[in-house]
A = this chain, B = another copy of it.
Amino acid sequence: MSEVTTLPPIVAAIRENRRALARLLTRIENNAAAAELAALYPYGGQAHLIGVTGAPGTGKSSLVNCMAKAYRAEGKTVSILAVDPTSPFSGGAVLGDRIRMRDLHGDQGVFIRSMATRGNLGGLARTTSDMIRALDAAGFDIVLIETVGAGQSEVEIASAAQTTIVVEAPGLGDDVQAIKAGILEIADILVVNKADNPGVESTLRALRAMLDLGHRSERIMHHGKLMNVPAAPILGEEAAWQTPIVQTIATDGTGVPELLAKIAEHRAYLRASGVQQLRERASLRAEIEERLRDLLLAHLLERVGVAHFQAVVERVLRREIDPNSAAGLLLAESSRDHKP
């Protein structure tokens, strides 16, 4: 969006120097990069942000590597951000890093970063989206965001991507399919990997049945919450995106060109339909609200004092007052004492 000479120093640095980028990502992880994030934000918006999620055992990491190689063959630069939110307390395993390193090592057009869980889920989602902004501003054509799992965590992280791919595999069992009802709803593209394994036909049948059951919807802001609403009223029945199912074999690359074609098609749809802007507005609004919630609470605690706050918690613990009334009380006290 501007000439190299006019770039802010942080943007020039992360575009020229991988170590500077790695260091910035570490500062983002440590929540100590507010100034850099403010400076680089105007220089993002060019990358295609692609989320890839699915349960362990689906071959998701191999697929991501395969996709990265295919994008490289098209001359595109790729960054991979692998996020593991499955272990909320003790820090999860780093996703398929060894395989990744072997496959992609030495290619200057690929950048890889892994992040295990630290702190709470909200913090993880925010750190992820800040890291994506840095990778975007660093000039990568493609940002692949890989998350493991099949729960609410992945839904939150996936909401940072523009195109979300959910990876399934044959033979993981009906129980596993059942738990994925929620995650299917966030899929823009479904991939059945290991398509040469036995049971692929029944997996395809099950997925088609679930897609038929669900009405295609779009994630937008609704009554102040980020949620799915039926797409048809926004776009008309015909224009709404029909989630395709793509079969792949990541170990030999079968189906990956078709997958990349569907991803490109989805990006074109997002832009032409205006859905991209709807989604982005909704998630930015939710993010700003969440940041405000944190800032406001910190200010309140400063005003009423941590000792007083703890005293109120003790009253609730003794059942003298309920948690909701306690919150109301603290709010009233903080407004009364407010002297700017």
A: which residues have CB within 8 A of B? 34, 37-38, 41-42, 44-45, 55-57, 85-90, 92, 119-121, 133, 148-153, 155, 172-176, 178-179, 181-182, 185-186, 214, 217, 225-228, 277, 280-281, 284-285, 287-289, 291-297, 299-300, 309-310, 312-314, 316-317, 319-328, 330-331, 335-336, 338, 340
Distance to closest chain B CB from A43 (angstroms): 8
Distance to closest chain B CB from A142 (angstroms): 20
For this chain, the copies found in one complex come to 2
Q: A175-B172, A324-B34, A330-B288 are in contact. Are A182 and B87 (CB under 8 A)?
A: yes
Chain B residues with CB under 8 Å of A89's CB are 182, 185-186, 217, 227-228
Cβ contact within 8 Å between A37 and B300: no
Which residue, A45, A121, A226, A293, has most C-beta atoms of chain B within 10 A? A293
Chain B residues with CB under 8 Å of A322's CB are 37-38, 41-42, 133
Chain B residues with CB under 8 Å of A313's CB are 281, 284-285, 288
Cβ contact within 8 Å between A293 and B296: yes
Chain B residues with CB under 8 Å of A151's CB are 86, 149-153
Which residue, A133, A152, A226, A335, has most C-beta atoms of chain B within 10 A? A152
Distance to closest chain B CB from A152 (angstroms): 5
